[in-house]
A and B are shown apart, each in its own frame.
Chain A
């Protein structure tokens, strides 16, 4: 049982190559843990359990060799789930993005922290992006209350994490400021960069898009230093074969377009 965490700076579940590469990595980590067809569950809590986030997750994994499921803490009334049993039966638990403050508050209200911590100790891979990545650390920088601010996480991993490092300069600035003012140092992750912890020891960095980077962020005597980490590139797998009728529909559409019937 090796406690494993995959933290991602930002991604989506689309059919674009970098997104497919991230989904493939999750599937691989889950399959390694399962030794066969893995169970993968999304916790979309940080978004308020939006249908979009859940739908995109299923679109990415429905046709893949795994058993996807979701636990919606806002919809337990309509769809009761034995939380502990269901979560501890997974090979990978994926936490989506959204509000870090709400994520942690709702988990606390439903007493989920201990279950997730136990899952981690049992070697169930914990994965997530954005709020769903920062939640595993001691602290992160969230915009849950409007402007970027420091917020404590569950603390399964020491140190801090800042996500969307390349495309949210105000979040990065708030992070550097917080670290220089005493927040524990940690990591900055661009969108499509990730860090994998497997057991004790430092994480390994991965990237699904050229140029996306992971940084180690530390406070030194001369100020806060950001050092890029060497990262392994994740190639995108070939897109899943299209269903025959969809392929046929696209062929027809492109024929009609060529014929000039469609603007």
Chain B
């Protein structure tokens, strides 16, 4: 029996939540999903199931492109009664941004953590941005709650993760401090960059913006090694001035 490929696409930030008019990351994850008209389920739990966010999802994933649905864990009486059956029947599960601490709390209360592992192992593509990226990792650097906080994620990916990453910002420096303080090695992605994992191996970094970057950070004894990762821009290649110069020379 062929085992399904386990796939996770973790956005540092981007997609319909953050990049109005730039569908590159959303197109990319849709392209990974099985079938002509993939079933896509949005989980807005990290936002407290904000109505406006659900509306924006349906606008970004219209019924012509896919079979969209969402699960609101704050209004269980309205959605699918059998969460497990619904989630396992999807081709893509898309997790929205917000509070990763609240997200994990609500998921555990409804048994979503175990269902998502089952979905991932059966080949449902998992993706998300911000809190919806952090949640898949063993450790999340959630620096957006005042005090930087180390949060234990679902642990599908045995690394740490930092999103909306900017090297020299307070948030970036706080991630470095946490790595020095014992957080495991991990990936940091800027807005517009997405880490695509098959199993727990990083297979590609893709970007919706030409300059968006992602990094591997390893807390070596000599200091933190920060390696910039090769990134594929998903849009049309801009005319490169260096290339033109090379040809001219």
Contact = CB atoms under 8 A, between A and B. Distances in A.
A and B bind: yes
Interface of A: 47-50, 73-78, 80-82, 98-99, 101-102, 104-110, 143-147
B144 A105 contact: no
Given A48-B48, A109-B102, A76 B146 contact: yes
B77 A74 contact: no
Interface string B54-87: 0000000000000000000111110001000000
Nearest to A74: B48
Contacts of A81: 146
B102 A110 contact: yes
Q: A-B pairs with the 10 shortest C-beta distances? A: A48-B48, A109-B105, A80-B146, A105-B109, A77-B144, A74-B48, A105-B105, A48-B74, A146-B76, A49-B48
A76 B145 contact: yes
A98 B81 contact: no
B48 A50 contact: yes
Q: Mostly helix, strand, loop or mixed at chain A's interface?
A: loop
Given A101-B110, A145-B110, A74 B104 contact: no
B98 interface: yes
Contacts, number: 74
Contact of A144 (B48, B76, B102): B76
Nearest to B111: A145
Interface in B95-149: 98-99, 101-102, 104-106, 108-110, 144-146
Interface of B: 46-51, 73-77, 81, 98-99, 101-102, 104-106, 108-110, 144-146
A151 B67 CA distance: 34
A80 to B, nearest CB: 3
B74 A77 contact: no
Contact of A74 (B46, B81, B109): B46
A18 B104 CA distance: 38
A76 to B, nearest CB: 5
A146 B110 CA distance: 12
Contact of B102 (A78, A82, A106, A147): A106
A71 B174 CA distance: 24
A167 to B, nearest CB: 15
7 contacts: A50-B48, A74-B98, A74-B102, A78-B144, A144-B76, A145-B76, A145-B110
Contacts of B74: 47-48, 98-99, 102
Nearest to B46: A74
Contacts of B50: 48, 50
Given A75-B99, A82-B146, A101-B109, A48 B76 contact: no
B163 to A, nearest CB: 11
A80 B139 CA distance: 21
Contacts of A78: 144
B146 A48 contact: no
A134 to B, nearest CB: 15
A80 B101 CA distance: 14
Contacts of A109: 101-102, 104-105
A48 B49 contact: yes
B77 A146 contact: yes
Contact of B109 (A48, A49, A75, A104): A104
A146 B81 contact: yes
Nearest to A143: B77
Contacts of A76: 99, 144-146
B116 to A, nearest CB: 16
A82 B105 CA distance: 20
Contacts of A99: 73-76
Contact of B106 (A102, A143, A145, A147): A102
Contacts of B109: 101-102, 104-105
Contacts of A48: 47-50, 74
A75 B98 CA distance: 7
A98 to B, nearest CB: 6
A78 B144 CA distance: 7
A101 B51 CA distance: 20
A242 B75 CA distance: 36
Most chain B CB inside 10 Å of its own CB: which residue of A50, A74, A78: A74
A121 B108 CA distance: 29
B144 to A, nearest CB: 4
Contacts of A146: 76-77, 81
A105 to B, nearest CB: 3
Contacts of A50: 48, 50-51
Tell which of B46, B48, B50, B76 has the most Cβ of chain A within 10 Å.
B48
A80 B105 contact: no
A73 B47 CA distance: 10
A108 B46 CA distance: 15
